[in-house]
Amino acid sequence: MNLPHQKPIRFANEVLDSSEKKIRVSCTFPFPPTLAMACEGAAQSSAGFAPEGSAPKIGFLVSLKDVFLEKEMDFLEAIIEIERTFDFGSMSEYSFELQNNNIVYVRGKITIALDEK
C-alpha cells in the first residue's frame, strides 16, 4: 500500500483480499485502538483501492458518518473490511468494519477526497 504515513501513525499494512468494491486490510496498532484510530485505519485502508503502480495521491478524510463502537478494543491486530459505496468525482464514500477474530468492534462510513493535482 502506497501511504505517506510512518509508524506509529501508519496502521494499514497490506491488502488481504480485494474485489472491485470491497477489500480487507490487515492493520496493526501500537496500543489498543481508540475509536479515532479505527477511523484513521479505515481511511488508510481506502488506499488499497488505488490501482497497482498508480501515482500516489494525497487523500483527505472529510467526513465520518454513523460511526459506532460496538465493543471496547483490547487488541493490537485487526482486519478492516471496507466497501466503496459511492463515488462523486474525486470524492468517495466507504462503509467499513473493524474486526478481530470475526467480531465487529467498530462500524461506520467515511468520505475521502483525493487531491487531483
Q: What is the DSSP letter of 42?
A: H
Q: What is the mean pLDDT of residues 15-26?
A: 94
Confidence of residue 70 (pLDDT cuts 50, 70, 90): very high
Can you tell me whether residue 107 is helix, strand or coil?
strand
Domains and CATH numbers, the chain: 12-114 (3.10.129.10)
**What is the C-alpha separation between 115 and 117, in angstroms, rounded?**
6
Residue 59 backbone phi and psi in degrees, to 5: -120, 150
Question: What percent of the chain is modeled with pLDDT above 90?
Answer: 79
- Taking only the tens place, the pLDDT of each residue in 105-114 is 999 999 999 9
**Mean per-residue pLDDT of the chain:** 93
Enclosing H/E stretch for 57: none
- Cell digits of residue 35: 475509536
Residue 36 backbone phi and psi in degrees, to 5: -65, -40
